[in-house]
Chains A and B, each alone.
Chain A
Amino acid sequence: GQNIDQPTEMTATEGAIVQINCTYQTSGFNGLFWYQQHAGEAPTFLSYNVLDGLEEKGRFSSFLSRSKGYSYLLLKELQMKDSASYLCAVSSNTGKLIFGQGTTLQVKP
């Protein structure tokens, strides 16, 4: 089976940096994904890691350690519009994509 853990809520200040952690256990692994979901909207893709290391895309970076079953999403230069839920998701060998419960990030001025 698969199990994904991430914090339920986080708060950070505008302009700061925040790191959202995700740990996972899976019987097969074909990549880890981060999605952003604003309240009342559909999730949108942020990043994909299949190999160990850091993937950087603008203000957002994502890190993966397959041996530790660990990933994090790093958000730099936080803006108010970054207030959203951040979903960690793991893909199995069959293509099934399982999501964690999501981390609600609140950015304060």
Chain B
Amino acid sequence: GAGVSQTPSNKVTEKGKYVELRCDPISGHTALYWYRQSLGQGPEFLIYFQGTGAADDSGLPNDRFFAVRPEGSVSTLKIQRTERGDSAVYLCASSPLGGAYPTGELFFGEGSRLTVL
């Protein structure tokens, strides 16, 4: 498809386990964003890539969270030693140019719902 693809769509895991969430952006989009969203809240910024490098990772809550984008396309968000508070929908979005310029449009995937028991 032509949109942003995220896998898995649903992930249930136990406290303390390791989780990987994958994002396949729209082909050619240089900017890639990760957000997480809890029920009734807006998306919370985690990290933003421009190409292969993390342009801003100030939203990662702690060192259990890590994200990579080795070839400037697919990105993986990695969560170690999961906690119940990590349960949320993790959204990925891509944009054709950095800094959400010129139109500001981010194209979002459908999200990965993570449940930590």
Using CB atoms and an 8 Å cutoff, list the residues of chain A in contact with chain B.
Answer: 30-31, 33, 35, 41-45, 48, 50, 87, 89, 91, 93-102, 104
Is B111 among interface residues, defined by CB-CB distance under 8 A?
Answer: yes
Q: Nearest chain-A residue to B110 (Cβ)?
A: A42
Residue of A42, A48, A99 with most partner-chain B CB within 10 A:
A42
Contact of B109 among A33, A42, A89 (CB under 8 A): A42
Binds A, one of B13-21, B43-51, B72-80: B43-51
Cα A35 to Cα B98 in complex, Å, equals: 18
Pairwise interchain contact B56-A42, C-beta atoms closer than 8 A: no
Pairwise interchain contact A96-B56, C-beta atoms closer than 8 A: yes
Q: Assuming the A-B contacts A31-B100, A91-B100, A94-B56, are A48 and B42 also in contact, with contact meaning beta carbons closer than 8 angstroms in the complex?
A: no
Q: Residue-by-residue, is B83-108 near A (CB-CB < 8 Å gives 1, otherwise 0)?
A: 00000000100000011110111111
Pairwise interchain contact B45-A42, C-beta atoms closer than 8 A: no
Q: Residue-by-residue, is B1-37 near A (CB-CB < 8 Å gives 1, otherwise 0)?
A: 0000000000000000000000000000001010100
In the complex, how many residue pairs between chain A and chain B have their CB atoms under 8 Å apart? 74
Pairwise interchain contact A42-B100, C-beta atoms closer than 8 A: no
Across-interface contacts of A30 in B (CB, < 8 A): 99-101
Q: Assuming the A-B contacts A42-B91, A42-B109, A48-B105, are A95 and B100 also in contact, with contact meaning beta carbons closer than 8 angstroms in the complex?
A: yes
List the 6 closest pairs (A to B, CB-CB), nearest first: A95-B99, A48-B104, A42-B108, A99-B42, A45-B105, A102-B42
Q: Assuming the A-B contacts A45-B105, A91-B104, are A97 and B98 also in contact, with contact meaning beta carbons closer than 8 angstroms in the complex?
A: no
Contact of B55 among A31, A95, A99 (CB under 8 A): A95
Q: Assuming the A-B contacts A45-B105, A96-B48, are A101 and B56 also in contact, with contact meaning beta carbons closer than 8 angstroms in the complex?
A: no
Is B62 among interface residues, defined by CB-CB distance under 8 A?
Answer: no
Cα A45 to Cα B96 in complex, Å, equals: 14
Q: Nearest chain-A residue to B4 (Cβ)?
A: A42
Sampled A-B contacts (18; CB under 8 Å) = A30-B99, A31-B104, A33-B104, A42-B110, A42-B111, A43-B108, A45-B106, A48-B103, A48-B105, A50-B104, A91-B99, A93-B99, A94-B48, A94-B56, A95-B50, A95-B101, A96-B59, A99-B42
